[in-house]
Chains A and B, each alone.
Chain A
Amino acid sequence: MSSPGIAAAGVRRSFGNVHAVRDVTLDARAGAVTGLVGPNGSGKTTLLLMLASLLAPDAGQLRIGGIDPVADPAAVRAIVGWMPDALGAWPSLTARETLVMTGRLYGLDRDQAGQGAHRLLDEVGLRELADTPARVFSRGQKQRLGLARALVHDPRVLLLDEPASGLDPQARVELRTLLRRLAAEGRTILISSHILSELEEVVDDAVFLVEGATVGADRVAAAATRGRSWRIRLADRDARAAVVPVAQALGLDAALIPIDRRDLLVSFGSDADAATALAALVAAGLPVAEFAAATGILEHTFLDLGGRS
Chain B
Amino acid sequence: MNAARLWTIARLELLQRVRTVSWYVLLGVFALLLVGVTALAFLAYGGWGIGGAGVYSVVVYVTLLLILLVSPTLSGNSINGDRDAATLAPVQVTLATTGEILLGKFVAAWITGLAFALVAAPFLIIATLAGDVHPWTVLISLVVLVVETGIIAAIGVALSGILARPLFSVAVTYLVVAALAVGTVIGFGLIGSAVASEGLSKSRYAEYDAMGNIACKDGSSDCYGDADNMICQDWQTSTYRVPRFDYVWWMLSANPFVILADATPTHFDQYGSPDDMFGWLKYSVRSAQLTPELETVWDECDPDNYRYSDLPNPDYRTPEDTIAATVPSWFVGLAVQTALAALLLWWAWARTRTPARTLPPGTRIA
**Residues of chain A whose beta carbon lies under 8 Å from any beta carbon of chain B:** 15-16, 45, 49-50, 52-56, 69-70, 73-74, 77-78, 80, 82, 84-93, 97, 101-102, 104-107, 133, 149, 153
Q: For the complex, give the distance between the alpha carbons of A50 and B94 in Å.
A: 15
Contact string against A for B residues 67-105, beta-carbon threshold 8 Å, 1 for contact and 0 otherwise: 000000000000000000111111111111100000000
Q: Is the CB of B355 within 8 A of A106?
A: no
Q: Is the CB of A54 within 8 A of B366?
A: yes
Q: For the complex, give the distance between the alpha carbons of A73 and B5 in Å.
A: 17
Give the segment of B15-23, B44-52, B226-234, B275-283 that binds chain A.
Answer: B15-23
B8 at the interface (CB under 8 A from A): yes
Q: Is the CB of B90 within 8 A of A54?
A: no
Name B's interface SS: loop
Residue among A50, A70, A80 making CB contact with B93, cutoff 8 Å: A80
Q: Is the CB of A54 within 8 A of B95?
A: no
**Residues of chain B whose beta carbon lies under 8 Å from any beta carbon of chain A:** 2, 4-5, 8-9, 11-12, 15-16, 19-20, 85-97, 354-357, 359, 361, 365-366
Q: For the complex, give the distance between the alpha carbons of A106 and B355 in Å.
A: 17
Number of A-B contacts (CB under 8 A): 91
Kindly name the residue among B11, B12, B16 whose own CB sees the greatest number of chain A CB atoms within 10 A: B12
Minimal beta-carbon separation of B187 from chain A (angstroms): 39
Q: Is the CB of B359 within 8 A of A15?
A: yes
Contacts A49-B366, A70-B355; A105 near B95 (Cβ below 8 A): yes
Q: Is the CB of B94 within 8 A of A86?
A: no
Q: For the complex, give the distance between the alpha carbons of A107 and B94 in Å.
A: 9
Contacts A53-B354, A56-B357, A88-B87; A93 near B92 (Cβ below 8 A): no
- Residues from chain B with a CB closer than 8 A to the CB of A92 are 15-16, 19-20
Closest 9 CB pairs of A and B: A88-B86, A105-B94, A86-B86, A56-B355, A92-B19, A88-B87, A104-B8, A56-B357, A105-B96
Q: Is the CB of B354 within 8 A of A104?
A: no
Q: For the complex, give the distance between the alpha carbons of A80 and B355 in Å.
A: 14
Q: For the complex, give the distance between the alpha carbons of A133 and B15 in Å.
A: 12
- Residues from chain B with a CB closer than 8 A to the CB of A15 are 359
Minimal beta-carbon separation of B199 from chain A (angstroms): 60
Q: In the complex, given contacts A70-B355, A88-B90, what are 6 additional A-B residue pairs having Cβ atoms less than 8 angstroms apart?
A: A56-B357, A80-B93, A90-B16, A93-B12, A101-B12, A105-B5
Q: For the complex, give the distance between the alpha carbons of A102 and B15 in Å.
A: 14
Minimal beta-carbon separation of B99 from chain A (angstroms): 12
